[in-house]
Amino acid sequence: MAAKIDFSPLFQPLQIGAVTLRNRVLMSALTRNRALPTNVPNDLMVEYYRQRAESAGLIVSEGILICQQGTEWPHAPGIWNQDQIVGWKKINDAIHEAGSQSFAQIWHLGRVSHPEAPEQIASGQPVYGPSAIAARAPRIQLILVQPTEIDDPMKLIAIYKQAAMNAKEAGFDGVEVHGANGYLVHEFLDSGSNLRMDNWGGSIENRSRFGLEVLKAVSEVWGPDRVGIKLSPAGGYNDMGMPLEETLETYNYFIAQVDKLGLAYIVLQRYTQFLDPIIDGKRRAIDHDVIGAYGHLVKRSTLLSNGSFTPEEAARTVSEGKVVGVFWGQLWVSHPDLAKRIQNGKPTDTPIDLHTLYGNTAGTTLDDQRVGYTDYPFAEYPSL
């Protein structure tokens, strides 16, 4: 008989900055593309988040667009107007009523914004990036354009700060800056997408400046102990990644500087093949031990991780002190009661319907969008 797995390390309370979590089974940001019709959170999204808040220790919202300019998905939610703030307030009320906590992931896509996205068009502005360098697309159907180099990055930092203010009004418990997966903060940090010769590019210190200034700006709104950041040093997704030695030098510097800010948490995304596209016939990412390479740098913040952990591996990694909590993404999609399943030894093998992962293209109503969103089954538990 196989030995029973001890999942108890995942079910101890956890303090991240000013926020106390009931467990260490955390839900990472998941784009689901259900904010129909106008990028405003709706009642279907309230149901989706309420389901998962019944057991999650922390819920990080799907990526929230901080402005019209800098968007990709047609039905990703924003946080630049009052209707959106009100919609998020309803979601946060539901999350809190279910006993969980919520951080808003604030998101600008930078050079990989879609030129034909309705909100991008409505903004009347170009697709911005650190430099006029387009990302290479892993498939021909994906539209990526050469971006316009932003003249003054402080303009974008001010938009992050306003989004942080709006997130506070919307009732979140904190904010997570999306610094991963080839979006704007990541683009400034990577020498392949940032070829600037001013004080926002060139040296590691200059390439780190944008991300650090964003964190300082949102910390002015929330206090650093309610701010987190997500990083993906291995790169890959959206044509990101530097040679290994440069990657190590860049992230050793950047993470050490971020840690000095005393944030609520830093989440390091491990290498996963799911986020490693094949471009020009080969894998794009720089596969290396992310936790081993950078975890020791996190001293003042809380170190969290994500990236295809099994529940067993997560419990072991937490018990060994390598990280203190683990985020899951895909497992939360098809298991709305994921934390409760893990705690009770229930299976976590419900497959994801990939056809409805980013919206149900077979229908346009909210009822249509329930499919593959709020209709995944809960496990059965013995009644008390």
Q: Which H or E run includes 87?
A: helix 82-97
Our measurement of the distance from residue 123's CA atom to the centroid of its chain's CA atoms, rounded to an integer in Å, reads 24
The answer to whether the CB of 79 falls within 8 A of the CB of 163 is yes
Q: How many separate helices (H) and strands (E) can be counted in the chain?
A: 12, 15
Alpha helices by DSSP H, listed for 170-302, are 184-189, 204-222, 244-260, 290-294
CA distance 115 to 107: 17
Q: For 223-297, where are the alpha helices, taking DSSP H only?
A: 244-260, 290-294
Q: Which residues, 6 or more positions from 375, have their beta carbon under 8 angstroms from its beta carbon? A: none
Exactly one of 128, 160, 183, 271 is catalytic; which is it? Answer: 183
| The pairing of beta strand 278-279 with beta strand 282-283 | antiparallel
Nearest to 207 by CA among 232, 238, 239, 184: 184
Q: How far is CA 45 from CA 33, 51, 102, 254, 354, in A?
A: 10, 10, 14, 35, 19
Tokens of 143: 């539209």
Query: How many Å apart are CA 376 and CA 84, to the nearest integer?
Result: 26
Give, as one character, the DSSP assignment of residue 288. -
183 is annotated as an active-site residue = yes
Would you please indicate which residues are annotated as catalytic (active-site) residues?
Answer: 183
